[in-house]
């Protein structure tokens, strides 16, 4: 049906490459590009070993910070769309290149400036008119969270509620990779996210809290009780905008005590800082150095055991009555590895990215402009996501694990 360019060769890029190759009737030609071509070549070889009858994935070197270089690559390969699974710092340059070359765009995480730990959608939402005028579509945050959690919310709003009033997104990684300390996705992004101030929406305004200062135990399906911490997560910003009936929206994530102890020590000695320091006559960013010595998230899959559990607790009104609802997915790390040689956190991000791109390529999700996934019809996505490895479950009138509903 069409050609697709995947930019980014980390854990999520690996999953997207495998899953696009799986659906080769839609993604007829695939190119994988990143700053390090050797990573792309390794992924392409692994995909070819699993799908020897499919066209081999082409690979290329590209600096995603460089618009002319991106434009040159896009013009030479001529894709119908770009799937951006590079760093969030690079969203705007890739969007600029897509506009200049006339191709559609999808990413899994919103833009954040490299020199400020601040992630919000305003920079990308500002591109809406440009994409509309170009007749192009940009779909933002089509991973799991952000991404599938928003589609779950849209599904609930369409099929289960007249109004949504309370939303709590809960995210548990109940797996064990056997490392003393490692992050499940890019360490720069992961550590910046969880060491920033927490934030939640209530009664029409944002409330900011100290990082990790609010927490409570939550019981997760098939995993059990885990201490869960209130963070700010980007999908909250678009959800409260697109579902204005929401009175309160929060995001919770689990962390083990060993992880938090390591993180606290690293913060105390300054190695999680994003402020440049001089070292042996060179300027380095401590967090970038830390990233270089930590295990690659894409390397964790083989020995990862356990599973993730991510879902949405929702309370609202249906037919004039209060209603509670829970929708979730559990993903086993070993199943993810067996399918794509990746761990479950990369898998839960990469599968929705492929499916969102598939729906765009098929013209099912097609609208000029810049959109978050909850603005699309959730039904086609919900009908297919299970067959690609992320089945979902739902319970109506569920007992929620929060005392303030």
Whole-angstrom CA distances from 166 to 10, 247, 251 are 35, 6, 11
Range with the lowest mean pLDDT among 144-153, 157-166, 210-219, 255-264? 255-264
| Segment holding 384, helix H or strand E | helix 378-384
Q: What is the dihedral of CA 113, 119, 123, 124, to 10 degrees?
A: 120
Please check whether residue 79 is in contact with residue 60, taking contact to mean a CB–CB distance below 8 angstroms.
no
When pLDDT is cut at 50, 70 and 90, the band that residue 105 belongs to is very high
Cα–Cα distance, 34 to 265 (Å, whole number): 32
Please state, as a whole number, how many other Cβ atoms lie within 10 Å of the Cβ of residue 21: 21
Mean pLDDT calculated for residue range 47-66: 97
What string of DSSP letters covers 68-105? HHHHHHHHHH--SEEEE-S-GGGHHHHHHHHHHHT-EE
pLDDT by residue (tens digit) across 43-56?
999 999 999 999 99
Contact yes or no for 285/275 (Cβ under 8 A): yes
Is the pLDDT assigned to residue 115 strictly greater than 70? no
Give the separation between CA 82 and CA 7, rounded to whole angstroms: 7
pLDDT single digits (tens) 345-385:
999 999 999 999 999 999 999 999 999 999 999 999 999 99
Classified as helix, coil or strand, 348 is helix
Roughly how many angstroms between the first and final C-alpha of the chain, as a whole number? Answer: 47
Domains of the chain with bracketed CATH:
2-140 (3.40.50.720), 148-334+387-396 (3.30.360.10)
Whether the Cβ atoms of residue 172 and residue 306 lie closer than 8 Å to each other: no
List, as own/partner pairs, every contact residues 69-76 make where C-beta atoms lie below 8 angstroms and the sequence separation is at least 24, other chains included: 70/7, 70/94, 70/96, 70/97, 71/97, 71/100, 71/101, 73/5, 73/33, 74/5, 74/98, 74/101, 74/103, 75/101
Q: What value does the mean pLDDT of the chain take?
A: 93
> Whole-angstrom Cα distance, residue 369 to residue 297?
33
Report the C-alpha gap between 241 and 330 in whole angstroms: 28
Block residue for tokens 């066209």: 55
For the chain, the residue count is 405
Nearest residue to 218 (alpha-carbon basis) of 208, 210, 230, 202 = 230
What's the pLDDT score for residue 184?
Answer: 66
Q: Is residue 125 predicted with pLDDT exceeding 90?
A: yes
Segment 312-324 mean pLDDT = 98
355 membership: H or E segment, kind and range = helix 344-361
Prediction pTM value = 0.93
- Nearest-angstrom CA–CA distance, 287 and 39: 22
In this prediction, residues 249-276 reach a mean pLDDT of: 82
Confidence class for position 205, pLDDT limits 50, 70, 90: very high
The per-residue pLDDT for range 9-41, each reduced to its tens digit, is 999 999 999 999 999 999 999 999 999 999 999
In 3-state terms, what secondary structure has residue 222?
coil
More confident residue, 264 or 164: 164
pLDDT category of residue 116 using cuts at 50, 70 and 90: low
């Amino acid at each position: 049906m069409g050609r697709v360019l995947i930019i980014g060769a980390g854990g999520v890029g690996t999953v997207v490459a495998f899953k696009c190759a799986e659906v080769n009737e839609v993604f007829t030609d695939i190119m994988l590009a990143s700053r390090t071509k050797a990573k792309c070549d390794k992924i392409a070889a692994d995909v070819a070993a699993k799908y020897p009858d499919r066209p081999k994935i082409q690979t290329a070197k590209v600096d995603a910070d460089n618009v002319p270089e991106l434009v040159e690559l896009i013009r030479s390969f001529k894709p119908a769309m770009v799937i951006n699974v590079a760093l969030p710092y690079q969203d705007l340059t890739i969007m600029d290149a897509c506009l200049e070359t006339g191709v559609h765009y999808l990413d899994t995480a919103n833009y954040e400036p490299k020199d400020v730990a601040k992630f919000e959608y305003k920079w990308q939402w500002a591109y809406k008119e440009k994409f509309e005028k170009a007749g192009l579509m940009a779909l933002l945050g089509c991973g799991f969270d952000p991404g599938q959690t928003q589609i779950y919310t849209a599904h609930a709003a369409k099929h289960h509620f007249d109004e949504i009033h309370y939303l709590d997104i809960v995210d548990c990684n109940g797996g064990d990779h056997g490392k003393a300390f490692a992050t499940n996705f890019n360490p720069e992004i992961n550590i910046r996210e969880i060491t920033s101030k927490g934030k939640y929406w209530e009664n029409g305004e944002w409330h900011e809290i100290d990082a990790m200062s609010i927490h409570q135990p939550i019981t997760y399906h098939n995993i059990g009780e885990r201490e869960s911490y209130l963070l700010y997560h980007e999908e909250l910003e678009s959800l409260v905008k697109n579902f204005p009936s929401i009175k309160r929206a929060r995001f919770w994530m689990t962390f083990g005590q060993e992880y938090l102890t390591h993180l606290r020590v690293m913060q105390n000695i300054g190695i999680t800082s994003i402020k440049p320091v001089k070292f042996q006559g060179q300027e380095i960013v401590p967090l970038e150095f830390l990233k270089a010595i930590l295990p690659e998230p894409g390397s964790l899959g083989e020995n990862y055991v356990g599973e993730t559990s991510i879902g949405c607790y929702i309370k609202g009104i249906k037919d004039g009555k209060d209603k509670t609802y829970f929708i979730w997915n559990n993903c086993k790390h070993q199943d993810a590895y067996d399918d794509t040689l990746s761990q479950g956190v990369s898998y839960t991000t990469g599968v929705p990215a492929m499916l969102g791109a598939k729906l765009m390529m098929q013209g099912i999700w097609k609208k000029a402009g810049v959109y978050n996934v909850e603005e699309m019809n959730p039904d086609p996505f919900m009908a297919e996501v299970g067959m690609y490895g992320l089945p979902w479950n739902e319970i109506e009138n569920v007992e929620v694990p929060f005392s303030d509903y």
